[in-house]
Amino acid sequence: MRKRFGMGASIVVLALFVALSITTFGCGTKVQKPKDFYKIGAVLSTSGPAAPLGQPEQRSLALLEEKINSEGGIDGVKVKFIIEDDESDPAKATVAINKLIKQENVVAVIGSSTTGATLAMVPVTSKEMVTLICCAAGTKITDPVNEWVFRTPPTDSMAIAKVISYLEDVLEVSKIAILHDANAFGTGGADELQAKAPDHDIEVVAREQYGSTDTDMTAQLTKIQQTPAQAVVVWGTNPGPASIAKNMQQLGMTIPYIGSHGIANKKFIELGGSAADGVAFPAGKLLFPSSIATGSDWRNAVDEFSAAYKEKYEMDIDTFAAHGWDAGLIITDALKRSGNDPIKLRDEIEKTKDFVAVDGIYTYSPTDHDGLNVDDLLMIKIANGAWTEVK
């Protein structure tokens, strides 16, 4: 008897559920409480596989917060960056951004570090009408342009353009092999290269992949050896490309090795040792300040940031630190003009023009949410364990 009663009552409750889900609910308007400080959210991959990206970004934001507030804030109002960790997981990123927007009521969001986590947050920003400035390089994020999404790093296609002109003008090769990490970064770069190469009469004769955690890439390299490839382009982040450099040395392969901006760090030289010599890769000019005219605003911005970062963290800046810093700078600059209004803020960010930051000089427009251009990059070649600029 009791069982039947239970069933009946349960069904009634369920019916109520359905009824409630049909009536529109929630979705209330955002309350604009007066604030004693501007709250800017950030979702960064400070743990998980993408932690080497997220951690410097986090450090930059902490540094920027300190700097702005010690200089009196934005028109007297202090700034607070609320940083959430997405553990390099897209699902966690959406949880984090929802929390930042609905619970913390942030005026804009920075992040995330990886393309996957960023793409996962894009639907939320559009729905909640809050600007997102990402630190990830995947082409898909801003192509096509999403009203609410901007980025600071140079895109994959800028880096690929740099690599192609190096292949074409410096190496003068017409047949290349691609060996890329099977993850989003590697695949994105490889796709872009494969699509653009034919326009420059470069033929991709082999395309191979490896897993981020693989130990040995000799099998893929022997396959490339059997093709007429005159150079191999490796798209991935440490430690894979270092393993590949060592494997090439082991196999006695001597064709030029061109890497991605993912190896634009001293770690690659440390891991690859002598095998790293001769490797060329694209990088932001900020990593090689002497390539920027002395006395220019940009050079000063890089030197200033680099010195402040080193003083606080006893570390050299890297490209990710710059992405985070620039994202913070762009938002705080636009906040001066917009005040604590997310929608006005978006419009002001889009109006950012010739804004000198660390990664380069940003100009956004309704059709361009990337800001930078190819000239903000350069090609670096490793010689005797040190970087040299490729002119």
Partner 1 sequence: MARRKGIVETHSYRTFLIVAAFIFILPIWARPIPGEALHMDIVNLMVLTGIYACAVLGLNLLLGYAGQISLGHAAFFGIGAYTTAILCTRFTWFPTWLGVILGASLAGAIGWLVGKPVLRLKGNYLAMATLGLGEIAFILFSQLKGLTGGTVGMLNIPPLSIFGLKFDTDIKFYYLVWAIVLVIMLLTINLVLSRVGRGLRALHSSEVAADAMGVNTGSYRVKVFVWSAVLAGLGGALFAHFQLYINPESFTFALSILFVTMVVVGGMGDIWGGLVGVVALTFLPSIIQVFPEWIPGIPESLTNFSNYALVLYGLLLIIFMIFLPKGLSYGMERGVAAGRRSAKLLLDRIRAHD
Partner 2 sequence: MIYGSATVFTLLLVVTLSIKGSTGLQWIVSGLTVGSIYALVAMGFSVIYSSTRVINFAQGEFSMLGGMLMYTFASKAGVPVPLAFILSVIIVTLLGAGFERLAVHPLRYSSVITVIIVTIGFSIFLRAVAKWIWGSDPVKIASFSGDKPIRFLGAALVPQSFWVFGFTALAVLLVFLFFNRTIVGKGMTAAAANPDAASLVGISTSTSSLIAWTIAAALGAAAGIIIAPIKFAAYSVGTMLGLKGFAAAILGGLGSAPGAVVGGLILGVLETIAAGVFPSGYKDAVAFLILILVLLAWPQGLLGRRQDVMA
Binding partner 1 (rule: CB under 8 A), the pick from 41, 46, 210, 305 is 46
Q: Does 270 bind partner 2 (CB under 8 A)?
A: yes
One-character DSSP codes across 289-316: GGGSPTTSHHHHHHHHHHHHHHHHHSS-
CB of 271 to partner 1, least distance (A): 22
Given a contact cutoff of 8 angstroms between Cβ atoms, the answer to whether 79 and 38 are in contact is: yes
Separation of alpha carbons 36 and 31, rounded Å: 15
Quick one: 38 or 268, whose CB is closer to partner 2?
Answer: 268
Per CB under 8 A, which of residues 120..149 are in contact with partner 1? 120, 122-123, 127, 138, 140
Size of the site for partner 1 (CB under 8 A): 59
> Nearest Cα to 176, choosing from 224, 211, 244?
224
Helix boundaries (H) for 197-275: 218-225, 240-251, 266-272
Q: Residue from 1, 27, 295, 367 that binds partner 1 (CB under 8 A)?
A: 27
Q: Which stretches does DSSP call E strand in the chain?
A: 37-44, 78-85, 108-111, 131-134, 149-151, 175-181, 203-210, 231-235, 257-258, 280-284, 355-356, 361-362, 377-383, 386-390
Rounded Cα gap, residues 255 and 272, in angstroms: 16
Residue 76 binding result from partner 1, partner 2, none, given CB thresholds of 5 to 8 Å by partner type: none
Nearer to partner 1, 107 or 283 (CB): 107
Pick the closest to residue 286 from 301, 274, 267 (CA basis): 301
The nearer residue to partner 1, 22 or 293, going by C-beta atoms, is 22
Would you give the end-to-end CA distance of the chain in angstroms?
Answer: 87
Angle at 346 between CA 70 and CA 376, to 5 degrees: 75
CB of 280 or CB of 327, closer to partner 1: 327
107 binds partner 1 (CB under 8 A): no
Across the strands, what pairs with 44?
85
The correct pick among 118, 125, 209, 260 for binding partner 2 (CB under 8 A) is 209
Q: How far is CA 269 from the centre of its chain?
A: 22
Which of partner 1, partner 2, none is residue 241 near (CB under 5 to 8 Å by kind)? none
| 1 contacts partner 1 (rule: CB under 8 A) | no
Angle at which helix 51-70 crosses helix 297-313, to 10 degrees, equals 100
20 binds partner 1 (CB under 8 A): yes
1 binds, among partner 2, partner 1, none (CB under 5 to 8 A by kind): none
Stretch in the footprint of partner 1 (CB under 8 A) among 183-191, 268-276, 283-291, 349-357: 183-191
Answer with the entry of partner 2, partner 1, none that 210 interacts with (C-beta below 5 to 8 A by kind): partner 2
- Residue 15: exposed, middle, or buried by beta-carbon count in 10 A (0-12, 13-18, 19+)? exposed
Q: Which residues bind partner 1 (CB under 8 A)?
A: 2-3, 5-7, 9-10, 13-14, 16-18, 20-22, 24-27, 30-31, 33, 46-47, 51, 54-55, 58, 84-85, 87-92, 94-95, 98-99, 102-105, 115-116, 119-120, 122-123, 127, 138, 140, 182-184, 186-188
Q: Which residues bind partner 2 (CB under 8 A)?
A: 47, 49, 51-52, 55, 182, 208-211, 213, 215-216, 218-220, 222-223, 225-226, 238-239, 242-243, 246, 249-252, 267, 270-271, 273-274
